[in-house]
Amino acid sequence: MSTPPTAIGAPLIRLRDVEKSVPLAGGRTWLLRRIDLDVAEGDFVSIMGPSGAGKTTLLHLLGLHDGDFAGAYDLDGRAVPSLSRKDRLDLQKRTIGFVFQSYHLLDDLTVAENLDLPLSYRDIGRAERQALVADTLDRFGIVGKKDLYPPQLSGGQQQLVGVARAVIARPRLILADEPTGNLHSGQARDVMALFARLNAEGTTIIQVTHSEENAAFGKRIVRLRDGWLQPQ
């Protein structure tokens, strides 16, 4: 099923009164409480807060990895809770790219093969996939690494490949969970500068970070504490 574009003036993401809890003996523990949040197309949002604030929980909810929540979530004009599992997965694949702190590259695949993997899940011909991989390798300056395996790369190079894999299918939204947590400061700045460039080209980005320096690359900061959005 094709995904209709976001209506003019409508946010790409719209959350209203979103809550998430888990059962514990004697009651429930609340992870998110009454979250109202709009994210416009082309925004760059940094989610910050102490450990246990609900940052990663919110990111997984936004990424359609977790459908067990209360409240309203519209993504690209579609009401997520009302979607079937198949339609939700289709919306996720067409809209979202993920960047993880731990890279999540497959060690037994080369750089080029890791980049091809997300394309292989789509209805894209082999020739077009090869062209997209070649273009992405060139765009990210990693043509010389295409036949290497992840263990042969530095941490910064692996994260660069992780970002390249996230954007190769040209998602409208990138969700990044502590994307520079395993990198030294120089590598972290390179990755964040890359995010800023992608955002300038029109990609919407939401990152979870503990770093004020990383957060400064974005356009605004959203702070969570004990599952609640803090006043701006």
Dump pLDDT digits (tens) for 11-20: 999 999 999 9
Spatial separation of the C-alpha atoms in residues 136 and 140, rounded to whole Å: 6
| Closest residue by Cα to residue 167 from 185, 179, 155 | 179
Confidence (pLDDT) at 46: 97
pLDDT in tens, 171-218: 999 999 988 887 788 878 888 998 999 999 999 999 999 999 999 999
Spatial separation of the C-alpha atoms in residues 33 and 19, rounded to whole Å: 5
DSSP labels for 40-67?
-TT-EEEEE-STTSSHHHHHHHHTTS--
Q: Over 80: is that where the pLDDT of 53 sits?
A: yes
**pLDDT, the chain, mean:** 90
pLDDT in tens, 121-180: 777 889 999 999 999 999 888 999 999 999 999 888 898 899 899 989 889 999 999 888
Confidence (pLDDT) at 8: 42
The rounded percent of the chain whose pLDDT value lies above 70 is 96
Confidence (pLDDT) at 61: 97
Report how far apart, in Å, the C-alpha atoms of 46 and of each of 1, 176, 195 are.
31, 9, 12
Residues 6+ apart with CB under 8 A from 73: 13, 14, 15, 18, 61, 62, 79, 80, 81
SS3 82: helix
Spatial separation of the C-alpha atoms in residues 53 and 34, rounded to whole Å: 14
Local confidence band at 6 (pLDDT 50, 70, 90 cut-offs): very low
Categorise residue 4: left if φ over 0, alpha if ψ from -120 to 50, beta otherwise.
Answer: beta
Q: 42-66+85-229, superfamily in CATH?
A: P-loop containing nucleotide triphosphate hydrolases (3.40.50.300)
Residue 224 one-letter amino acid? L
pLDDT in tens, 65-117: 999 999 999 999 999 999 999 999 999 988 999 998 777 899 999 999 999 99
Domain boundaries, the chain: 42-66+85-229
Confidence (pLDDT) at 4: 44
Mean pLDDT of 3-24: 78
Report how far apart, in Å, the C-alpha atoms of 37 and of each of 18, 101, 137, 197, 228 are.
9, 24, 35, 24, 11
